[in-house]
Chains A and B, each alone.
Chain A
């Protein structure tokens, strides 16, 4: 592996490129969490410079930190979640796999020249990004499912306390072929090709340990800034802005409360710095939705479709205005069963149910019915799975939106703590905890 050399020497540390700004979280998109510097961003441009697309590909997310990237870092346009079963029979297997995975991810996120070999041999890299891989804002986020722990007596005692196999909610029609897994990887990048390249690299290099289970791609559309200069959220496949009320992911203190597991959570110590990940593949019945009156659509969500503003927020309101439920106790303006009102009633008590959503839209061709198979690759992060996703979903059970959506897959996973430096590896704290247990008399 060689060091990555950007083709353009000048970087503007603060000036995030256009797409970075456009698809980021609300107004905080420019400043990345933890002050991570952006490499290769754009300044003023003249005719001769490479097109914007290339500049985006130079954006690099740091692989190192106390948390994994891809959770509170800005969400780029392309997402992919792949779940695997693991062939890991001993702590040594687990360590070997995690070290190898760490090596691949650090290379892929950093970018650089692809290795080559004698032409008589298969090339070590798929080559789909060419001989030099640009980082392209890639993040690769690794998480473990309950089955990894439950199937292995030496791991079982170390399972995060709330990690369970995803259960069926009333409106679900789960398809076992696209549920659960020992391990999930979330790939996020500016281009889907970058995610696919990374997936293929990992599949190629880790076949001894990892068997594919299911995979779902998604994307979010870019959008122009609003009149006041703020960045809108992306729209989902029902045509509504999605993410408006997401907690500010650049607010470290807030994230420590909502997202990151720490000493204040009742979790094994190895898990500190990680977070629960809820993945849901939620089909949208888009033909039916498109045949639904606008007013009904807006009442189902509790927001205006064009602007994303809360209902009744008045002229000029944006998606970042806060709904006022206190002065609307009977739901005359925002129905009591509107999606946003059920998901977050905005009471003192419901503050503990906040979650960080990081969704992508998917389009999977045609369903057996002959209708479009589209939907939401819903991903949420929270420090407390029961108070987070599960509590919110339980409140949403029976919501009017259910007529238009059908959760069909996904799973619960625990995103590992970050890799602190090049001497560290993913899941080290878990491997060490396993070994401590093995040597200490219980």
Chain B
């Protein structure tokens, strides 16, 4: 979607001092990208429900190896929608919390979801005792999928989500603490970057009018992340986090921090408070 040239020109002139181009009613312009984003999220949560069914079935069948092999691929559609996790924070806690979110760590029964299952599968090499957690996970992702349609997507949450997820990757993921038992972090990285980039992509046409350099820089950084992660692709997914070299980790850390820095201006650039 493009600004009508006349409007764009006057907007740029009046706000040039700030380097901001405020659309008269930016929300109007955002209708299309946000609608499209909602479709993207809905597709992902639908996929998540399906994949979780298979994952849960493997757990219930006591098939440890199969459950392990399905862990990372099942998570990716969840990780891809994480930019807007604040819209369903109650479910996020029960689906994706980590042991260190609880003072008692793994001993706390409230530690549920993907990482509880990951812990038991890898650290204890069994599916024993996972039945309830698996049911809970299935119920949670189904609930999430059901909610999406009726959920309002406030523009500032969607636009801000691109940066918010990069902040999270920078602060609590890049060091490999998310999938600490399975070492499947690179799967999550790819899904997180994809999820954040999706938002950027949808907004690109609007932003590139006022700040083509910004768009080029952000795109180049996403591309470099993709190129770096591509080195670790395997037939089925990704190498273990342990294979990530120090220099590639430093590069990813630099790019994710710069993406967070740059994308943090996205809301302002679009005139959103």
Contacts and interface: CB of A to CB of B under 8 A. Distances in A.
A118 B250 contact: no
Contacts of A208: 221, 254, 258
Given A151-B247, A204-B261, A207-B261, A118 B20 contact: yes
A87 interface: yes
B268 A120 contact: yes
A207 B255 CA distance: 8
B251 interface: yes
Interface string B228-258: 0000000000000000001100110111011
Interface string B62-92: 0000000000000000000000000000000
B20 A120 contact: yes
A389 to B, nearest CB: 26
* Chain A residues touching B, range: 10 to 19
Nearest to A89: B251
A117 interface: yes
A122 interface: yes
A118 B268 contact: yes
Interface in A88-144: 117-118, 120-122
Interface string B2-34: 000000000000010011100000000000000
B38 interface: no
Given A120-B20, A207-B257, A207-B258, A87 B251 contact: yes
A151 B258 CA distance: 23
A130 B57 CA distance: 58
B272 interface: yes
Chain A contact residues: helix, strand, loop or mixed: loop
Contacts of B255: 87
A155 interface: no
Given A120-B273, A121-B20, A211 B268 contact: no
B267 interface: yes
* Chain B residues touching A, range: 20 to 34
A154 interface: no
B182 interface: no
Chain B contact residues: helix, strand, loop or mixed: helix
A87 B261 CA distance: 16
Contacts of A64: none
Contacts, number: 44
B18 A87 contact: no
A179 interface: no
A120 B254 contact: no
A151 B250 CA distance: 13
A121 B268 contact: yes
A411 B258 CA distance: 27
Interface string A208-233: 11110000000000000000000000
B273 A211 contact: no
B261 A121 contact: no
B219 interface: no
A225 to B, nearest CB: 46
A321 interface: no
Contacts of A120: 20, 267-268, 271-273
A88 to B, nearest CB: 10
14 contacts: A85-B247, A87-B250, A118-B15, A118-B18, A118-B19, A120-B267, A120-B272, A121-B18, A122-B265, A204-B261, A207-B254, A208-B221, A208-B258, A211-B253
8 residue pairs, one from A and one from B, having the closest CB atoms: A121-B268, A120-B268, A118-B18, A207-B257, A85-B250, A87-B254, A207-B258, A211-B250
